[in-house]
Each structure stands twice: as structure tokens, then as C-alpha cells.
Amino acid sequence: MAHQITSLILLLLLTCLRGLSQSTPLKLPARIRIEQGWISGAINASGDVHIYKGIPYAAPPIGNLRWKAPQPAPSWKGVRPCVAFGPNAMQPVPVPSGAYGKEILIPPDGPISEDCLYLNVWAPAKKANKKRPVLVIVHGGGFTGGSGSISLLDGEQMARKGLVVVSINYRLGVFGFLAHPALTAESPHHSSGNYGILDQIAAFEWIKKNISAFGGDPDNITADGGSAGSCSVLTIVASPLGKGLLRRVISESGPLFQPKECRELRAAEHEGLQTMQAKQARTLSQMRALSADSLLKGDHLRLPVVDNYLLTDHIRDLFAAGKQNDVDLLIGYNEGDQDMRGPAQSAQAFIRMAKGKYGLDADEFLRIYPASTDQQAAASQVAISRDRVFGWGNFLWAKAQSRQGQQKVWMYYFSRSVPAVPGKPEYGAFHGSQGAYVLDNLHRWNLLFTQWDKTLSERMSTYWVNFATSGNPNIAYSEASTQKKVNEQMPFWPPFSVAQTKVMEFGSEVKPINLPSMRAFRFFEVE
């Protein structure tokens, strides 16, 4: 009854707004039937995108469902209004810092809760004669923060370009990635520690079942993950549980492909045991009785677990054996990606480290990463953290996919510096800055973008739409035609291969270049 009353209020509100706006009339989107029941949504100001927010795709993971695999969302009677984002997953309240302003963080007024398994859908209002491609945004945040409600991840613009766009929330931190011997013993699959990834798989399963109701094609789903979101998507591609869920993948600055990078179950269980003992919780009932806030204290990054269920082996080894799910892949990283953890070493200390670690190969290492002065040494250390963590990991994934898979790989390098804020340092093409460009959301970012920035965003988002549609960023998207046609107004993006390591640079120009840092990647592979 409450849902019906709320729906009536929403209808009256939108009817009033329609009367106030003669130039762009608003109308309530048609009610949609999904597997749990009927939902209603909202419409954007220009009337061309229907928006549904806060749709539950799984049961709230609270109480006895804390640290359990996601369960089906309950059904409801009547019409459920879906006009506001669901709660953000449990995480510390974010504070703007450095390059990361409020537009890149979860909304300050958004609730934070363990009850967080919700998704959002943006769908073109115009009916099409065929199902539309689906783009699913998997947010980053180091597996400890982030949300599908972040302003720069909004899906309206990409829906206006013809995609059905979905953003999802999933469990984070200790709630999403705690492994523990008692949790493993309780599990029917004898595993623990991968709840956040299992949430994402549940979301993709929900999308496969329900996206047709929004006009989307359940057989043409592209996952677009940034940072930890990309690591998540890679884990799903490597998992037997991900079979048939994805047709294409976009990876933005988030590899998880270096040797033995994920935790093995026993080591993860040991860490979890220590975590719970420090909180005086020695049984499952005591663990589940802890308040969410007490669990957040002292929380830290945990990576997915090789548990013989979600991951049957280390990701790189699964690819080497050809056991991954085969997908089209668009992958890349940023010039300003970095993973520096602490102050830079002096030139003298850096040279001493290089000689001690690399011996006879130290001279080659120092030619790649010079250290003639302290300033140069500091810049080299930033470059190493980018090349080693982000660049090389992306290169390894692209190389493995091009060798082992049947689908093509497309690689990019984002080098466009975002506009500086007066009185603040320049942050360049920092980690995560590409997201607003590819989703055509620069208008949501309070920076003084140039006309070229807007042109670059338009081109990048067009490549992304083309890829999500056909698996080829060069093929122009068209709702009116089923014929594939190369977009001759855009620079041709050559496919990536081990023999032809060409990537598309998005910077002061859009052009194919040789993959930067190849000399460093060759060094890493033989060190």
C-alpha cells in the first residue's frame, strides 16, 4: 500500500512538472515488470532517457546473511518506485583529497549501509526495432570504497547514445572480502572471502534475466570496470562462475594479472582469523553480532581469493591454460596512474637499490628509470609504480587474451591532463580521470574544460559505444541499420597483438602509437 501511495505522489509530481515545461514535456515512463515485481522510474529533463534507481538485485546481506553468498531479492506487491539511489556499501565516509574531489566520491548525502545490493538503469526512451547493447559500469575504489551512484559514473549520456546502461553496488572491505576458517567450513562450496565478486556475478545474472524489460539485449552485455572494478571484471572472466555472463569487457587501469597476485585461501583465512580475534570475535555468531562501524575500524584492502570455487587457480595461470571465458577486450591505462606508497627515495638510495636488486642489469634498469638527481629519481619511481602495477599488468592481460582467446583486443593509453584548479597542483592524467571522458560526463565535473576536452570526450565515448555494440571500436553504431560500417570520421584504432603492440593514445591528439614503456615491460619479464 505504501508503495502504491508513493507511486501516486510521484505521478502527480511529474504531471505538475509536465505542465510547467512546455518546451520539453515530461512524462512518466511505463511501468516495468521484472522478476520481483513491478517498478516505476523517472525521466530525464530532455525526455529521452528513462531512469530507474535503487533496484534490489539480491537480498540485503545483513544479519545471518553477512558473509554469505548473495541470495535472491524478495518479491513485492504493487509498484515499487525506483527513483533514488540505494544505499552505498559500507565504507568510511569519503573526504575529498588531492585530485579526488566530490564528483569522484560517493554523494555526501547518500546513506551508507550493509544493505547495499542495488543497481541502477538508464535506458533510451525511444523504442527501437531491436534490443540495445548493454553497458554495465563496475565502480572502483580499491575494494574498500566507491559506488554506482558516483556522479561521474552517471549513465544518462551513454543511454542517449543508444546503450542501456547499468551501474551496480557490491560489498566492500571486510564485508565483501573477509576470509575465515569458520566461514569456509560453513560454506557449501568450502570457500570464503569473495563475497563482493559473488555480488557482482549475482548482478550480472539479474541483468541477463531482466534487462530485456528495459530494452536491453541479454546476449550483448559489456562490463566496464575501472581500477578495482576492472580487477573484479577480470576475476569474473577468469572464473567458471562467469561463463556466459559477458560478451565484452572494458578494463580501465585495473589489472590483477601479475604472478600469484591474488591471495590463496589458507593465507586469506589466517588474516581473517587474526582480524576477528583482534575484535574479540571467535565464533560466527560473535562475528555477525559485531556492529558494522566496529568492523570498519582498521579495515584495509583485501584482494580476491583463490578458493577453488570462484577462482580455481591464479588468474594468470588460468589464462595460460586457456580456461578463461573468451570475451572481446578493450583495455588500457593512464599516463598518471601510480601506486606510490610512501616518500620517494633520494637518487643515491635509488641507485643503491637498483644495483643491489638487479646486479649486472642495474645499468639497463637505470637507463629506463634514470636517477641523475633527486628530482629525476622521484619521477622515475612514480613511473615505475605506473608501469609495473598498471601498464605491465594491462599488457600481460592483453597479451594473454590475444594469444589464448578467439576475440580481438584493443588497447589505449590515456595521456590527457585534466584542467588544473587554481591554487592546487596539476594532477595530469591521474588514476581514474579517464572515466568522465569515456562516459561523456565532463559537464558533471566542476573544472574548466577546453573545447578539445569536450571533443576528446565525444570521440572516446563514441569508441566505447561502438565497442559495446559490435566488439570493434571502429564500427559506427546505428539503431537504424544492422549493417556494420567503419566510422571514417574517427581515427582508425588498430587491434592489439603481441607482434603489433599498437595502442590508441587519447591525449592532445587521438592517434595510434607504439605502446609506451615496452622497454620496461621486456625488462620486467626477464628480471
Q: Does residue 397 have a pLDDT over 70?
A: yes
Residue 264 lies in a domain: no
**Which range among 55-64, 335-344, 450-459, 464-473 shows the weakest confidence by mean pLDDT?**
335-344
Q: For residue 514, list its beta bridge partners.
A: 502
Q: With cut-offs at 50, 70 and 90, classify the pLDDT of residue 489.
A: confident
**Does position 25 have pLDDT exceeding 50, yes or no?**
no
Q: How many percent of the chain have pLDDT more than 70?
A: 92
Assess whether pLDDT exceeds 60 at residue 18: no
Cell of 384: 615505475
Contacts 24+ apart (CB under 8 A), 491-496: 493/410, 493/463, 495/408, 495/409, 495/410, 496/398, 496/402, 496/408, 496/409, 496/410, 496/411
Q: d(Cα 144, Cα 418) in Å, to the nearest integer? A: 25
Reported as a pLDDT band with limits 50, 70 and 90, residue 404 is confident
Question: Mean pLDDT over residues 273-284, rounded?
Answer: 97
Residue pointed to by grid coordinates 579526488: 100
Ramachandran category for residue 299: left, alpha or beta (phi over 0 → left; psi -120 to 50 → alpha): beta
Decide if 493 contacts 332 (C-beta within 8 A).
no
Whether 263 shows a pLDDT value over 90: the answer reads yes
Host H or E run for residue 363:
helix 362-368
pLDDT at 341: 83
Domain assignment present for 448: yes
Structure confidence at residue 6 (pLDDT):
38
**pLDDT recorded at residue 481:** 53
Provide the residue range defining the domain that includes 403: 328-335+388-527
Q: Residue 239 — very low, low, confident or very high, per pLDDT cuts 50/70/90?
A: very high
Beta strand ranges found along 130-177 (DSSP E): 132-138, 164-168
pLDDT digits (tens, 9 = 90+) for 145-162: 999 999 999 999 999 999
Can you read off the three cell numbers belonging to residue 452? 578539445
Q: What is the mean pLDDT of the chain?
A: 92
Active site (annotated) includes residue 291: no
pLDDT at 28: 64
210 within a domain of the structure (yes/no): no
Q: Report the distance separating Cα 159 and Cα 214, nearest Å.
A: 11
Quick one: the chain helix, strand, coil %, rounded to 5?
40, 15, 45
Question: What pLDDT score does 403 carry?
Answer: 87
User: What number is the average pLDDT over the span 32-57?
Assistant: 97
Q: Is 426 contained in some domain?
A: yes
49-74 tens-digit pLDDT: 999 999 999 999 999 999 999 999 99
- Mean pLDDT value across residues 277-287: 97
pLDDT band at 7, cuts 50/70/90?
Answer: very low
Taking residues 23-49, report their average pLDDT: 83
User: Residues 40, 192, 227, 230: which is the catalytic one?
Assistant: 227
Mark 436-466 as b/e (b = at least 16 C-beta within 10 Å): bbbbbbbebbeeebeeebeebbebbbbbbbb
* 105, part of any domain: no
Q: Does 4 or 83 have the greater pLDDT score?
A: 83
- The answer to whether residue 499 sits within a structural domain is yes
The stretch 437-460 carries a mean pLDDT of 97
d(CA 226, CA 236): 14
pLDDT, average across residues 491-507? 95
Where is average pLDDT lowest: 2-6, 8-12, 495-499?
8-12
* pLDDT bracket for residue 255 (50, 70, 90): confident
Alpha carbon 338 to its chain centroid, in Å, reads 17
Q: What is the pLDDT of residue 21?
A: 34
Residue 3 pLDDT greater than 60, yes or no: no
Mean per-residue pLDDT for 381-404?
94
Is residue 259's pLDDT more than 80?
yes
Q: How far apart are CA 35 and CA 210, in angstroms?
A: 7
Grid coordinates representing 519 are 622497454
Confidence label for 356 from pLDDT (cuts 50, 70 and 90)? very high
- Residue 244 confidence (pLDDT) above 90: yes
Q: Give the C-alpha separation, 228 to 215, whole Å.
A: 29
Which ranges in 371-489 belong to alpha helices (H)?
374-385, 392-404, 434-438, 451-470
Residue 175 is assigned to a structural domain of this protein: no
Residue 189, SS3 per DSSP: coil
Q: Is residue 133 part of a domain?
A: no
Q: Is the pLDDT of residue 340 over 90?
A: no
Mean pLDDT of 27-56: 92
Give me the number of domains the chain comprises.
Answer: 1
Residue 4 has what pLDDT?
39
Question: Is residue 405 over pLDDT 80?
Answer: no
Q: Does residue 109 surpass a pLDDT of 80?
A: yes
